[in-house]
Amino acid sequence: MFPHILLSLLIWIPVLAGILVLMTGGDENATIARGIALTAAIISFLLCLPLYLLFNANSYAMQFNEFLPWISVFNINYALGVDGISVPMIILTNFTSLIVIIAALEAIKYKVAQYLSAFLIMQGMMVGVFVATDSLLFYVFWEAMLIPMYICIGVWGGKNRSYASIKFFIYTFIGSALMLIALLYLRLQANSFLISSFYTLDLPLTVQILIFLAFFAAFAVKVPMWPFHTWLPDAHTEAPAGGSVILAALMLKMGVYGFIRFSMPITPDASLILSWLMITLGLIAIVYVAYIAIVQTDMKRLIAYSSISHMGFAILGCFLVYSILRITGNYHDAYLSIEGAVVQMISHAFGSGAMFIGVGILYDQLGSRLIKDYSGVAKTMPVFAAFFMLFAMSNVGLPGTSGFVGEFMIILSAYQAHFWVAFLAASTLILGAAYTLWMYKRVFFCPVVAGSGVEKLKDIRSSNLVVFILLAIGVIWIGVYPEWLLHLLHASVDHLLHISIQQRL
Amino acid sequence: MIEVIKNLCLGIVLAPLAAALIAGLLGKVIGRKGAHSITILGVLIAFILSLFIFNYTVLDNFGPFNFNLYTWVHSGSYKFHVGFLVDNLSATMILLVTFVSLLVHVYSIGYMADDPDYQRFFAYMSAFTFAMLMLVLANNFATLFFGWEGVGLISYLLIGFWFTKPTAAFGSLKAFIANRVGDMGMILGIAAILTYFNSLSYKVVFAHKAILLNQTIMLIPGLHWQAATVTCILLFIGAMGKSAQMPLHVWLPESMEGPTPISAMIHAATMVTAGVYMVARFSPLFEMSQVALSVVLVIGATTCLFCGLLGIFQNDIKRVIAYSTLSQLGYMMAGVGASAFSAGMFHLFTHGCFKALLFLAAGSVIVANHHNQDMRKMGGLYRYMPITYVTFLIGALALSAIPPFAGFYSKDTIIDAVKVSTIPGATYAYACVLLGALVTALYTFRAFFLTFHGENNVPAEIKAHLRESPWVMTVPLILLAIPSVLLGFVLIKPMIYTVPGLLGGSLTVVPQFNVIAMMMPDFHGALAMALHAGMTLPFWLAVAGIVLAWYFTLKNPGVAVVLKQRFAFVYWIMINKYGFDDFNQIVLVRGTRRIGAILLNWFDMSFIDGFLVNGSGRLIGWASKIMRHLQTGYLYHYAFAMIIGLFVFVGWRLL
């Protein structure tokens, strides 16, 4: 019985808890709200355990399926299911949400219940995105998750929050509108909204390209890919720490997830033809955005730009498969690249999410995100500095941390496509180290300036320490034993890759 | 057998790691004494187990042992493992690493005695030992890269150990970035390996190395390069970063900002030699490309001479030894570049001992001088610190290649090997390494005389407390002095002039490059070699260097001042270190920031955000502003519009 509603539980428990939390009302009941939210987050995270244990990694088929007619007139169904690519994303979603809730226990003191409920509802919606097998249901979740995030930035954000939240909303919404058009067209062709039914459509090239571009509008904004990236630094900077974590760790990943789930398998020929464009945009993200990250003066903006740069790797990993296949002709060679992309999605969540929380901790105490306002933090916050060093190193892509695995796999694959592609991708070794460690040096090293407030900083304790320990375990675990994650992917990646490279003309 | 070796290896790498974790995470709980006890125990275990491994592998000749511990990444047809290769090369190398590490750990009890971050220091050192052992023992490129970057990380952390000093913070960042430039080449080299061999395992790669023969790669349209050449040069760029070869040498002098025991262990004996180790490890590949060997040889020889020259102009005792390390690394690289891999490794081992000795002795001097490192404020110290004095002298003689000290055997072998080498660039390289012998003796003994002899310039308040360092510091000096004297004499025959030598099957040399085989007939035993030294040019150059150093520092210091004025231009170049630092700072660092600022301001902010994004917002705002005038809310406006519309409609229908 239980597995049949597991996915629904994962979606709706946080949503119901979110509503419950909302009903506690004002800040005088904040303790109750915190209690409910934490319980719900822990239960949701624990529900990932049966998901992981009962999931059969040897099969590419959708598992834990649920199917209920929803709007039968249009043949829209409440259809859920997971494969090897969505399972890690769901675990990541619940893990990250748990982290955010724990981090909020201390940090948020204003409109606590509303804040927590926004995140719980967002959590449910994001799980929905990863489990929906009906494209319209996917679309509903996809749009629904924007609302709590919009509120989150708009209410708990920094000084420039209204500009950032509107920019975020309009930017992502315009992209999604085009996706809806594509979905409706595909529905007419396939006579079903099920994503799997789109995989068998044989569409002419022009149509494929148009659909690819429509999806591109939605996903490229979300990733975000250059030149659609300028909403992200604003959103990140203004969002509260929790919002930044969700943005970096999960929302960006949905763009890449969309490319893997929709663009490549539904329009394989268009993907092949436009792969050069995607690779170019990926490389621009890696190199160009890294240069911009170097000159940032605001820590959050810097990490935001570094996220864009890292997501360039995920895009590169996805679309390199076409070049690799053309050159080596061996279908097995392409695995490394696309699995690297998925690993990159997961691993980036830990490192950059942790860094956003770290900046949040500093901001709470000193009220500034500017690098120049800090110096010698390692002196007054040694434990914090040690953790931040680990996460910075993951951002730099040091072997043994999660940040290395995906980049390593993708750089190695890139060489098979072309030397210069690999060269540009590998430049991240230098540029990534430059922007991350230069920031680290200015913030954590050097003498403490008297009167800057740094001498009064308090080191992390209790809930923040728990958060950092959990994230550190994630960073090292994926870095040392990525096979734990990879073995989930093999069958599903194999299946999707097969569909994504067959000619349908 | 293999199970035994596997467990021994696990013990070797995990003991220091566990010790590092305990000292690092529980430092407050176990206290200072607990921290140094546990880390020393960890490294001691590793050292003892390394002796067993050495015994099994090298002396008893079981092996090589190649095994995987677990699968790190499995994707498609690729499997990357974490695994170890125990052969003569790695077994000998881990012995050196754990030996030096052990002594430096003990020494640090004395050197770091007053430091508030004592536990953190010991945790870093043990963690470094772990990473270095992983690097050495790796049986594939992925594990190698793990260790490779791991040692880089800890080197970064240790250079920045006193992070509140701006110079230390700057030096650590510089070291990491310069290493990363090398690592970028290295990761591309690894990618090339995977592309050609579909595997990262040394065993598979070496067994199928012939695959590279007929492959070419076009990096620039129209130019076909040998795959072997490109791959080896990419890997060598990694070695240049780690082993601080020109032009990536800039970080090593800066690394002296770290505590002195670190300079001895990481920036002299172990980590910086990883590049040499790597080239020797990949000798089967390097032997396939004469071009790559030439590059290694020329860069090594250049570093050897030109970085050595800079050492003459330094007044900081640690910086002199740092430039000397650069120069000696150049010797090793020149050795392996000339295909005398065993000679390069030989110099690595002897240098590991005598350079660690010199650094630790310098550290002893620095502690006695209350952390003053300027040699102009020293002098005449031999009276106060006899053990340090004697051991430093032994180190200096070994470094200057005076027979029968260890450095003589290894360095002379390299010089001879470069002499008989016939690959392009060998003549230039020979000139460099020959002159290098003079330069080495000159800067070494300049430092020696300035520190220990001549007038005592120590400030009075320090002078009152001048005394020999405690036993935890002097015992390691003595223990390192012994191999600095004997190692060359003992190892020259088994390591260089025996087939198969001590390093046995780990090294591959093709017949046409086999310089050692050409030198074999002229070798008549270690003693004969030492006695014969008087007939060779390098020996007299070294002696000349010592005499010059004595003349300029003690006998007639005025001459140096006159020369400085006469050749002011040369002096200016030298104190500016050929301008590498300025170039990097002005062109690379500022250039990067300039590019970043241009991209950000002009493109991201002005064009994309200002023009496209907010521009579309403004366009809509502007359009709606105009449209708004149509919706006035006055009934007569709408009625008027309706009537006009009606007229137009009717008129259009009628016409």
Lowest mean pLDDT among A393-397, A453-457, B204-208, B298-302: A453-457
- Nearby residues of A362 by Cβ (< 8 Å), 6 or more positions away: A299, A368, A369, A374, A377, A443, A457
Cβ pair A500, A60 in contact under 8 A: no
Interface of A with B in 87-146 (CB under 8 A): none
Report the residue from B142, B191, B600 with minimal CB separation from A295.
Answer: B600
Judging contacts by C-beta atoms under 8 Å, the chain B residues touching residue A398 are 149-150, 153
Q: Residue A418: helix, strand or coil by DSSP?
A: coil
The pLDDT assigned to B502 comes to 80
Query: What is the pLDDT averaged over residues B430-452?
Result: 88
What's the pLDDT score for residue A394?
Answer: 92
Report yes or no: A281 at the B interface, CB cutoff 8 Å.
no
Nearest to B181 among A339, A405, A430 (CB): A430
Question: In which element (H, E) is residue B418 found?
Answer: helix B406-420
How far, in whole angstroms, is CA B406 from its chain's centroid?
22
CA B420/CA B616 separation, integer angstroms: 72
pLDDT tens digits along B12-38: 999 999 999 988 888 788 888 888 888
For residues B33 and B194, give the distance between their C-alpha atoms in angstroms, rounded to a whole number.
Answer: 47
Query: The tokens of B370 are what?
Result: 């209350």
Choose between B615 and B194: higher pLDDT.
B194
Mean pLDDT over A151-161 rounds to 85
Total length of chain B: 655
pLDDT of res. B221: 76
What is the b/e burial string over B513-541, where b = at least 16 CB atoms within 10 angstroms of the residue's CB? bebbeebeeebeebeebbeebeebebbeb
Residue A131 pLDDT greater than 90, yes or no: yes
Taking the C-alpha atoms of residue A488 and residue A500, their distance in angstroms, rounded to an integer, is 19
pLDDT at A126 over 90: yes
Sorted by sequence, the CB contacts under 8 Å of residue B460 that are 6+ apart come out as: none
Cα–Cα distance for residue pair A392/B629, rounded to 1 Å: 55
pLDDT of residue A387: 92
Ordered by start, the domain boundaries in chain B are 1-115+129-135, 140-575, 579-654
Across A361-370, A474-483, B113-122, B514-523, least confident range:
B514-523
Which residues 6+ apart lie within 8 Å of B246 measured at CB?
B240, B299, B302, B303, B306, B307
CA dihedral A421, A426, A428, A429 (to 10 degrees): 180
Residue numbers of A between 283 and 312 with CB closer than 8 Å to B: 288, 291-296
CB nearest A336 (choices: B76, B160, B190): B76
Pairing of strands B65-75, A76-82: unpaired
B184 to A420: CB separation less than 8 angstroms, yes or no: no
Q: Please state the rounded mean pLDDT for residues B104-127.
A: 87
Higher-scoring residue by pLDDT: A405, A457: A405
Instruction: Look at chain A and count its residues.
Output: 505
Tokens 């090398």 belong to B182
Number of domains comprising chain A = 1
C-alpha pair distances (Å), A14 with each of A36, A37, A43, B583: 10, 8, 9, 57
Q: Identify any residues that bridge with B217 across adjacent strands, giving them in sequence order.
A: B225
Question: For B550-596, how does the pLDDT look when each residue is reduced to its tens digit (9 = 90+)?
Answer: 888 877 777 777 777 888 787 777 777 787 877 777 777 887 888 88
pLDDT tens digits for range A202-239: 888 999 999 999 999 999 988 888 888 888 888 888 88
CA distance B556 to A360: 63
Query: Distance (Å, rounded) from C-alpha B329 to C-alpha B342?
Result: 14
Which residue segment(s) compose the domain that A317 sits in? 2-501
Those residues whose C-beta lies under 8 Å from the C-beta of residue B557, and which sit 6 or more positions away, are none
pLDDT category at A461 given cuts 50, 70, 90 is confident
Q: Which of B167, B195, B614 to mutate: most A Cβ within 10 Å?
A: B195
| Chain A 160-189, residues with CB within 8 Å of chain B CB atoms | 167, 171
Q: Give the angle A274-A275-A277 at the CA atoms, nearest 5°.
A: 70
Q: Decide if B613 and A430 are in contact by the 8 Å CB cutoff.
A: no
| Interchain CB distance below 8 Å, B72 and A336 | no
pLDDT in tens, B137-193: 999 999 999 999 999 999 999 888 888 888 888 888 888 988 999 999 999 999 999
Residues in chain A closer than 8 A to B142 (CB atoms): 408
Token pair for B615: 């521009």
Instruction: Mark yes or no for CB contact A445/B172 under 8 Å.
Output: yes
A46: exposed, middle or buried (C-beta count within 10 Å: 0-12, 13-18, 19+)? exposed
Q: What is the pTM assigned to this prediction?
A: 0.90
For the residues A428-455, what does the mean pLDDT come to? 86
Q: What is the mean pLDDT of residues B253-281?
A: 87
How many Å lie between the alpha carbon of A341 and the closest alpha carbon of chain B? Answer: 12
pLDDT digits over A321-339, tens only? 998 888 887 788 888 899 9
pLDDT in tens, A470-497: 999 999 999 999 988 898 888 899 888 8
Name the 3-class secondary structure at B140. strand
Rounded to whole angstroms, the Cα distance separating A456 from A283 reads 42
Query: And the tokens for A453?
Result: 């407030």
- The confidence band for B602, taking pLDDT boundaries of 50, 70 and 90, is confident
**d(C-alpha B604, C-alpha B530), whole Å:** 68
Which of A168, A232, A288, A295 is the best substitution to test chain B (most B C-beta atoms within 10 A)? A295
Shortest distance, CA B181 to any CA of chain A (angstroms): 6
Mean pLDDT, residues B413-428: 88
Is the separation of the CB atoms in A14 and A118 below 8 Å? no
Q: Is the pLDDT reported for residue A257 higher than 90?
A: yes
What are the C-alpha distances in Å from B84 to residues A48, A111, B67?
36, 56, 6
Give the residue on A whose Cα is nearest the Cα of B614: A167
Across all residues in chain B, what is the average pLDDT? 86
8 A C-beta contact, residue B142 and residue B80: yes
Residue B466 has pLDDT above 80, yes or no: no
Question: Would an 8 Å CB–CB cutoff place A374 in contact with chain B?
Answer: no
Residues of chain B positioned with their CB less than 8 A from the CB of A231:
613
| Residue A314: predicted pLDDT | 92
pLDDT value at residue B495 = 82
Residue B214, judged by CB atoms within 10 A of its CB (0-12, 13-18, 19+), counts as exposed
- pLDDT, tens digit, 9 for 90 and up, residues B372-398: 888 888 877 777 888 888 888 898 988
Reduce the secondary structure of A352-382 to three states and give it as a string: HHHHHHHHHHHHHHHCCCEHHHCCCHHHHCH
Nearest CA in chain A to B148: A399
Contact A266, A199 (CB under 8 A): yes
Whether residue A37 contacts residue A45, with contact meaning beta carbons closer than 8 Å, is answered with no
Mean pLDDT of B494-508: 80
Residues of B in contact with A444 (CB under 8 A): 163
Averaged pLDDT, A308-321: 92
Cα–Cα distance between A438 and B596 in angstroms, integer?
A: 14
> What DSSP state is assigned to residue A298?
B
Q: Does A445 touch chain B if contact means CB atoms closer than 8 Å?
A: yes
* Percent over 90 (pLDDT), chain A: 35
Structure tokens at A119: 């995140």
- Is the Cβ of A414 closer than 8 Å to some Cβ of chain B? yes
Report whether the peptide linkage leading into residue A50 is cis, meaning its omega lies within 30 degrees of zero.
no
Which neighbouring-strand residues pair with B67? B84
pLDDT of residue A1: 46
Q: How far is B129 from chain A (nearest CA, A)?
A: 16
What ranges in A191-298 are assigned the alpha helix state H?
195-198, 205-222, 231-238, 241-246, 252-258, 264-266, 268-294
ipTM of the complex: 0.91
Which amino acid makes up residue B9?
A: C
